[in-house]
Amino acid sequence: MIKTVKDVDLKGKRIIMRVDFNVPMKDGVVQDDTRIMAALPTIQYILEQNPRSLVLMSHLGDPKKDVKKAQEKAEKAGKTWTTEDAEKFINGKNRMKPVVEYFAKKLGKEVTFLPDALGQKEAIDALPQGAVAMLENVRFHKEETSKDSAERDVMAKELASYGDIFVNDAFGTAHRDQASTASIAKFMPVPSVGGFLMEKEVKYIQPMVENPPKPQVAIIGGAKVSSKIAVLESLLKNASALVIGGGMAYTFLKAQGHKVGISLVEDDFIDTAKKLLSDAAAKGVKIVLPVDHIAADKFDANATPVAVDGVDIPDNLMAMDVGPKTIELYKEVLSTAKSVVWNGPVGVFEFDAFAKGTATVAQLVADATGRGAMTVVGGGDSVAAVNKFHLADKMSHVSTGGGASLEFLEGKTLPGIAILATK
């Protein structure tokens, strides 16, 4: 298990802490504060220990990539794009100052905004006793995300000079080998530790891969097989059943020889799907694929739902959700589960007419939790789903990391966790 802030003496120490305040922004206004609120318990605990100072750092989008996308979108729409437009966009999307102001209100304490991630040592040393400060978005510096470790180290070394102890509570970026998430630990005088959020993520996700309570059911959905194949292969080791839903299910159904109409299919992954089905059969793992569907003739929120009572889908239709028979299969397979890991919706839940399957899965996982099963929800869309259906508090754990949870479930070593001391 990783060491946390509770395992070290913080009194009088300068703490440099990586948080994940990469929150959705619109015109400089925070749209969703889930990640900010998730970091508060660790921050409050640190402050209770009377540190010399606490300096927080995070990324907020990726300024260079985000502005490029915005420019391309504007030019595609026939609009001119000026330097002023770029600056206005970055101010509304990537600047940390409005996030700091929002966070300070939630913390109930003044937070000093530092206008850059680098060159701030003098300002940090001058902070009053017990002060909280936050650096500007670390991704304004190319060294943060550089593929060259020597470049990352230059930035990491300076960030390390801001504190005596490094605390990583940014699980959402733990899969990134970056200056502020991993490289910094090399330059700290003492071993680095995790925050409470990092501890909770490791506590719940790691057993799902290594030694879950059995029987384990894994529900893997989402659009593409290509992004989930490594997770499926990893979970095959321990799961008694794999529920495959969402767009990726239709690649598997096509691999079995079924007609899938105009549903989303990755033809390049048909052979991969066949191999996984074969591996599952060899291991005695039950694969649950849709046996009926709610379909439509186009991908549209206002499309008319068409019930397809069978596995094969007519040529003019695409599957948008699972049907009632498939839902019954889900109920059956989840009724005895002692652990459940869920990553990815089973239908287009953003459209109300096609949300029933995912809503039912959310409820079934919540029911399993109520029976004492260990349940973990990971991945951006699954989290959005449990929030939409107001069931997040009915799960054992809802992960804050999209890519990080996926890679953890794949059994990969995450750089932002590997650098932390263990006990």
**Count of residues making up the chain:** 423
Work out the angle between the directed axes of helices 97-107 and 34-48 (0-180°, nearest 10). 60
Is cis: bond before 213, omega within 30 of 0?
Answer: no
Could you tell me whether strands 318-322 and 293-296 are parallel, antiparallel, or unpaired per DSSP bridges?
Answer: antiparallel
Q: How many CB atoms lie within 10 A of CB 71?
A: 16
Active-site annotation holds for 245: no
Single-letter amino acid, residue 119: G
Query: Cα–Cα distance between 17 and 220 in angstroms, integer?
Result: 33
Which among 203, 174, 195, 202 has a CA at the least distance from the CA of 43? 195
Quote the Cα angle for 249-254-258, to 5°.
Answer: 110
Active-site annotation holds for 283: no
- Residue of 18, 35, 228, 356 with catalytic role: 35
- What is the largest distance, in Å, between two alpha-carbon atoms of the chain? 70
Work out the angle between the directed axes of helices 83-93 and 63-76 (0-180°, nearest 10). 130
Single-letter amino acid, residue 35: R
Query: Cα–Cα distance between 300 and 201 in angstroms, integer?
Result: 35
- Quick check: 382 and 342 in contact, CB under 8 A? yes
Torsion of CA 201, 203, 206, 212, to 10 degrees: -130
- Residue of 224, 286, 331, 412 with catalytic role: 224
Single-letter amino acid, residue 55: V
- Quick check: 321 and 302 in contact, CB under 8 A? no
Quote the Cα angle for 182-186-190, to 5°.
Answer: 110
- Residue of 92, 402, 403, 411 with catalytic role: 403
Query: Cα–Cα distance between 370 and 377 in angstroms, integer?
Result: 15
- Residue of 221, 247, 380, 416 with catalytic role: 380
Tell the residue number behind the tokens 């290509």, with chain if given. 226
Active-site annotation holds for 286: no
Which among 17, 16, 18, 12 has a CA at the least distance from the CA of 51? 12
Query: Cα–Cα distance between 127 and 111 in angstroms, integer?
Result: 11
Active-site annotation holds for 95: no
The catalytic residues are 35, 224, 380, 403
